[in-house]
Amino acid sequence: MNGKNNIAIGFLTMGAFMLYGFLLIYLRDFAPDKAAWVDSYTSGKHFESRLAHVHGNLFAFLNIVIGFLLLQFKDKLKNVKIISRLAILGLMMPLGILSELYLGLPPIFVILGAISIITAVIWLGIAFYKLDK
């Protein structure tokens, strides 16, 4: 993995979370129990689903950007594969929120995903800071 997978997975994930966003619009505007959905705007499943949607698209976009940068600078940066994998693993965070919401799984994937994406972003920032011109 040198960035190409980050770009591909980033776009695929973004597409999936965009579709999920359309489901959320349906639930808000067209579903039979839309009033109950709207009433729970700041709590419960509604809040958690919006949290997953936003972070899913953000982390997908981060993977696209990270992948592009890793491809462009792969010969000048160290630890490209590790940064690439950590960024992809970061997608566990929004997927973990959904797995908590719909499957009742524990938040371990949320925590691992958050640690992974934060580590990837900071590691890449340090790598670019150390980059010779």
**Vertex 66, ends 64 and 71: CA angle to 5°?**
95
Range of the domain at 100: 4-130
**How many structural domains are present in the chain?**
1
Q: What is the pLDDT along the chain (133 residues), one digit of tens a residue?
A: 789 999 999 999 999 999 999 998 888 888 888 887 777 777 778 788 988 999 999 999 999 999 999 999 999 999 999 999 999 999 999 999 999 999 999 999 999 999 999 999 999 999 999 998 6
pTM over 0.85: yes
**Numbers of helices and strands, H then E, in the chain:** 6, 0
Question: What's the residue count for the chain?
Answer: 133
